[in-house]
A = this chain, B = another copy of it.
Amino acid sequence: MPTEAATASGRQTRPAKVRVRADDLRTLVSGIFAARGVRQADAGPVADALVWANLRGIDSHGVSRVPRYLELFDKGESVPDAQPTVARPRAAIAIVDAHTAPGPLAMNRAVAEAISGARECGIGWASVRGTVHTGAIGYYTSQVADAGMAAVGVVAGLPTMAYAGARGAAVATSPLSVAVPAGRHETVLLDMATAVMALGRIAQLKATGTELPPGVAVTKEGDPTTDPALAAVPVPVGGPKGAGMSLVFEMLASGLAANPIVPGYHSGASQGRRHRQNAFILAVDVSAFLDLGEFTSTVDDTIEAIKALPAADGVAEVLVPGERGHRSELERLAAGIPLGPKAWRELTGIASSLGVAVPAPANV
């Protein structure tokens, strides 16, 4: 178990993190989900989506969300063994109804449907209606890239972010992800919130009482603040640009899924604030446009042109989207996924109470 570490000088440092092998963590989380009613065949894929986020360094979307998933089960806002259903009204589009199944189940289905539409028609679109927490959207777009296709993914959820010119939480931090397959290089993977700083990251700074950078959040009253105790609402990137992206993403993701979130949220009705999300995945079959090898070679050349640019002062290396995440993945696959003592205690506590075996950390 983790112990408080102290330096030779006696100065207290942060509590040591546990390192858990990715496979072990997947087995643990999958076991928890299965014990809580997720079908055996589905528990692994749900766990995989969360562990992937940890591997990529997006810890706010990783296994620390397990207690939240169980809370959604307890409240009836997510049904652990629900099965998404699919309609395909025209050749290139599918509508996946999640029926409040754990998010990754509907999203994985959307990936498969978007790819299948793209194989037939050149592009494929899958709308996802009424899912719960999807995890990191890059997990899904990168699967499309693994199939040799480019992908765009968007998720819309409950308003938590400010809207340019308005006070309070107005729109969601709706993320945009674009994945582009490369050849010699790793997939280019953009995965960005429409907020200056993602909500999960702000929550981490608040939890540790760390001062926020300026321009990241406002108070409940809408005043700019760097005080973690007062920060309540993240602000959109580029003011009207991020706010506008979030608004049109809601219209596309929720509107086309016939499951609007923003109007109900602001209507004051209690049902309007119930947790729910909508999403879409667009797959573009590169090979319908040109030879896949020619395309990925262009992507490689583009990556290399950017990485060869002179670096700005104080910058060690120019990076392309997804590069940092890929390095995190390699490091964490080798050394295990670092988890804070609280997150580890919580996970192992849940596992023990459900009779699920707890793996030994990799660094103990």
Residues of A within 8 A of B (CB): 89-93, 95, 117, 120-125, 127, 150, 163, 165-168, 170-171, 176, 178, 180, 188, 190, 192, 196, 222, 237-238, 240-242, 244-245, 247-248, 250-252, 254-258, 260, 262-263, 265-267, 282, 284-286, 288-290, 294-295, 298-299, 301-302, 304-306, 308-313, 315, 317-321
Contact = CB atoms under 8 A, between A and B. Distances in A.
A298 to B, nearest CB: 5
A307 to B, nearest CB: 9
Given A241-B237, A299-B255, A309 B190 contact: no
Nearest to A294: B258
A95 to B, nearest CB: 6
Contact of A166 (B122, B295, B310): B310
B318 A163 contact: yes
A24 to B, nearest CB: 32
A196 B215 CA distance: 14
A88 to B, nearest CB: 9
Report the copy number of this chain in the oligomer.
2
Contacts of A242: 237-238
A49 to B, nearest CB: 22
Given A91-B92, A122-B91, A188 B298 contact: no
Question: Most chain-B Cβ atoms within 10 A of its Cβ — which of A127, A286, A306?
Answer: A306
A305 B180 contact: no
Given A252-B178, A284-B252, A312-B167, A260 B190 contact: no
A248 B306 contact: no
Contact of A302 (B188, B196, B250): B250
Contacts of A257: 289
Contact of A121 (B93, B250, B286, B321): B93
Given A180-B252, A311-B167, A125 B122 contact: yes
Contacts of A317: 165
A241 to B, nearest CB: 5
- State the majority secondary structure of interface residues on A: mixed
B122 A89 contact: yes
A209 to B, nearest CB: 25
A308 B266 CA distance: 9
A308 B301 CA distance: 48
Contacts of A285: 90
A190 B245 contact: yes
A192 B302 contact: no
Contacts of A266: 305, 308-309
A258 B120 contact: no
B263 A298 contact: yes
A241 B173 CA distance: 14
17 contacts: A92-B123, A123-B123, A150-B256, A163-B306, A176-B245, A178-B245, A180-B251, A192-B238, A192-B245, A196-B238, A237-B242, A240-B321, A251-B298, A252-B284, A254-B298, A260-B302, A263-B305
B302 A263 contact: yes
A286 B165 CA distance: 29
Nearest to A178: B248
A60 to B, nearest CB: 17
Contacts of A288: 89-90, 93
A305 B267 contact: yes
Contact of A95 (B163, B238, B289, B308): B289
Given A222-B312, A289-B258, A248 B321 contact: yes
